[in-house]
Structure 1
Amino acid sequence: MKSAFTEVQKFNQWWLWILLLAVLGLPVYGMFQQIILGEPFGSTPMSDLGLVLFFVGTLLIIGLVWYLELRTEIDETGIRVRLRPISTEVFTWDQIEHVEIITYGFVGYGLRFSSKYGTVYNTRGNKGLSIRLKSGSRYVIGTQDPEGITQVLRTLDKI
């Protein structure tokens, strides 16, 4: 079924990528100094293999952050949220008691658990779709398009 609303968000904040590239610079510099120049890197240097594994691990973490994607879809059947590759949730309208756009305090990024908001999916900002299920569970899905969500919820007669 075609979504009435789809939003795809990625972790593309400039400051995040500057930070990640700066962290990557540490093992690159260490490998250059220790493996290429032959001088120990630091006062208690890692082995050459340790430096290479540090570099590969840092690359894997950067690759994961690049791959992460928050996808929100809303249509006449319900709401779907996917934080690729970590989690997927599907809420049908008959499970949902209440939805609304809220402004929330900083809870962190990615998949978070909050006593105030419940399960939070967030890539940036402080606007989100708050979902309260009939079971009592609560969710917040961060959005950069609160007006678009409000419009589709009105069209679907959900707010």
Structure 2
Amino acid sequence: MTEQNILFRERQRFTQFWLWVVVLVVASIFWAGFVSQIVLDGGFANNPISDVQVIVLFIVMGIGFPVFFYSMRLTTLVQPGELQVRFWPFHLSPKRIPLHTVRDYARITYHPIRDYGGWGIRWSLRGKAYNMSGNEGVQLHFYNRKPLLIGSQNADELFEAIRQAKEMKR
């Protein structure tokens, strides 16, 4: 893959303020427990768990949970004849979609919660969706399977890149 063959590239992360408030509130509970029981040598509750359990929970939930959410990203790449989608860390390699299998495609505005149940990798009666934030994207309709929605902060550019890529040969 050379740089001149890339028609569109987008990397998205979760940017919703409310999501980060929830993640950091959950993590702060485990930070408070760690500081209370390990650093200050007191109990966090009436019946505290062992120090080893507190340390493990602190590492997993106090550090690992926020790092996990921060590391999540959706990468969309359009090249001649192909679209690639990678939702890290769930996809170790990109999902490749040959554009000759796409019957039709449209730029759409959707309701993430009502239509797909939220953001991330989502399945619904409407098909599958990859989205990180916002409510715009390109929906692909295939010859032999349910539709696929790719959420984008630049839906017009993604739509145009797909149009160009379908016309080009690999």
Return the TM-score normalized by structure 2: 0.82
Q: Choose the corresponding residue for 1:144, options 148, 153, 163.
A: 153
Change in CA separation of 1:120 and 1:157 when aligned onto 2, cut-off 3 Å: closer
Q: Choose the corresponding residue for 2:118, options 94, 108, 111.
A: 108
Gaps (5+ residues) in structure 1?
none
1:54 paired residue number: 57
Are the counterparts in 2 of residues 20 and 62 from structure 1 also a CA contact under 8 Å? yes
The superposition leaves residues 47-106 of structure 1 with CA deviations (integer Å, 9 ceiling, x where unpaired) of: 211111111111222222111110111222121111012133211121111111112222
Say whether 1:77 aligns with 2:81: yes
Amino acid at match of 1:133: F
1:93 paired residue number: 99
**Structure 1 CA distance for aligned equivalents of residues 130 and 162 of structure 2:** 19
Amino acid at match of 1:136: R
The answer to which of 84-93 and 65-74 deviates more is 84-93
Are the counterparts in 1 of residues 81 and 166 from structure 2 also a CA contact under 8 Å? no
1:124 paired residue number: 133
Q: How does 1:31-50 map to 2 (within 5 A)?
A: 31-50=34-53
| Cα drift, residue 43 of structure 1 | 3.0
Percent identity among equivalent residues?
27
1:21 paired residue number: 24
**Structure 1 CA distance for aligned equivalents of residues 83 and 10 of structure 2:** 12
Return the TM-score normalized by structure 1: 0.87
Equivalenced residue count is: 157
Q: How does 1:148-159 map to 2 (within 5 A)?
A: 148-156=157-165
Are the counterparts in 1 of residues 134 and 153 from structure 2 also a CA contact under 8 Å? yes
The answer to which of 47-56 and 144-153 deviates more is 144-153
Structure (1/2) with the larger helix percentage:
2
